[in-house]
Amino acid sequence: MKTFEENLKSIPTAEKTVLLRLYNQRDELVSIIPNIPGRQGSVRVFKHIAEKKGVIDFEAAKEGLRIFEEKVEDARKNPGKHQKLELLLGMKSSAILRIENVECSCPDLLENLSGQVASAEECKVFIDLLNQGKIRAAEKVNNNWEPQPYVIDGVLNYFGTHDSKRMEGKYWDKIPLKTANYTDEDFERGGVRYAPGCMVRTGAYIGPKTVIMNLAFVNIGAYIAGEGCMIDGGARVASCAQIGKNVKYGAGSGIEGILEPAGRLASIIEDNVKIGAMCEVTGIIGEGSVIASGVIMASGKKIFDEDTNDFVAPLECVVGEKNFLLPVIPPYRLAVGGSIPNKKGTHNTDAVILKAGDLRDSATMRHFEKQGILYD
Alpha helices in the chain (DSSP H): 4-8, 40-50, 58-67, 69-77, 83-89, 109-114, 120-131, 149-161, 184-190, 363-368
Q: Residue 131: exposed, middle, or buried by beta-carbon count in 10 A (0-12, 13-18, 19+)?
A: middle
CA nearest to 241, candidates 226, 223, 254 = 223
CB 370, CB 230: distance < 8 Å: no
Q: How far apart are CA 172 and CA 176, in angstroms?
A: 10
Give the active site residues: 232, 257, 280
Cα–Cα distance for residue pair 266/241, rounded to 1 Å: 5
Q: Sheet holding 97-103: strands in order across?
A: 29-34, 17-23, 97-103, 55-56
Packed helices 58-67 and 40-50: angle between N→C axes, nearest 10 degrees: 140
CA distance 216 to 86: 44
Phi and psi, residue 187, nearest 5°: -65, -45
Element (H, E) at 336: strand 334-341
- Return the HEC string of 187-249: HHHHCEEECCCCEEECCCEECCCEEECCCCEECCCCEEEECCEEECCCCEECCCCEEEECCEE
**Distance from C-alpha of 332 to C-alpha of 303, rounded to nearest angstrom:** 15
Alpha carbon 125 to its chain centroid, in Å, reads: 19
Give CA–CA dist 289/248, Å, rounded: 11
Helical axes 69-77 vs 58-67, angle rounded to 10°: 100
DSSP string, 123-153: HHHHHHHHHTTSS-SEEEETTEEEE-HHHHH
Whole-angstrom CA distances from 46 to 16, 52, 112, 124, 349 are: 14, 11, 22, 27, 52
